[in-house]
Amino acid sequence: MHELGVVFQAIKIVEKVAKENNLTEIESVTVEIGEVSTVIESYLQNCWKWSVEKKSDIMHNCKLYVEKIPAITYCEDCGNKYETVAYGKTCPKCNSTHTYLLQGNEFNIKEIEGC
């Protein structure tokens, strides 16, 4: 379960931002997770709840909000952009496998709400 490591890193970044901005408490954090990032949201939420309660004073009651980024693949042969999960690495328009992922593998901290 790599979600715990992801959470620890996110908390470290959020605490640094809080310190730089003289925040005394973090109310919520919004993250973006790519559809094919391998981060499982339910595991992430469980790790988050445990970590902020046990490991961070400034984030003790902090909520985690998750937004999904759809996975989109680009075909180099025909220029088609398509849903990765539905079609995988093969372009549904021309059946080419000369494709690459445009988006959907990210994990971003989008927003930090503090006071």
List pLDDT tens digits, range 1-15.
589 999 999 999 999
Q: CA-CA distance, 50 to 7, in Å (whole number)?
A: 10
Range of the domain at 64: 3-70+104-114
CATH number at residue 45: 3.30.2320.50
Residues annotated in a binding site: 2, 75, 78, 91, 94
**Domain assignment of residue 109, yes or no:** yes
Q: CA-CA distance, 29 to 98, in Å (whole number)?
A: 37
**Domain assignment of residue 97, yes or no:** no
pLDDT of residue 55: 83
pLDDT of residue 115: 84
Residues annotated in a binding site for Ni(2+): 2
**Domain assignment of residue 77, yes or no:** no
Residues annotated in a binding site for Zn(2+): 75, 78, 91, 94
pLDDT of residue 2: 83
pLDDT tens for the 115 residues of the chain, in order: 589 999 999 999 999 999 999 999 999 999 999 999 999 999 999 999 999 988 888 999 899 999 999 999 999 999 999 999 999 999 999 999 999 999 999 999 999 999 8
- pTM here? 0.87
**Quick count: other Cβ atoms within 10 Å of Cβ 44?**
22
Give how many domains the chain has, as a whole number. Answer: 1
**Domain assignment of residue 29, yes or no:** yes
- Decide: 35 and 65 in contact? Cβ < 8 Å: no
Going from the C-alpha of 77 to that of each of 17, 36, 92, the distances in angstroms are 43, 23, 12
**Domain assignment of residue 48, yes or no:** yes
Q: CA-CA distance, 34 to 46, in Å (whole number)?
A: 18
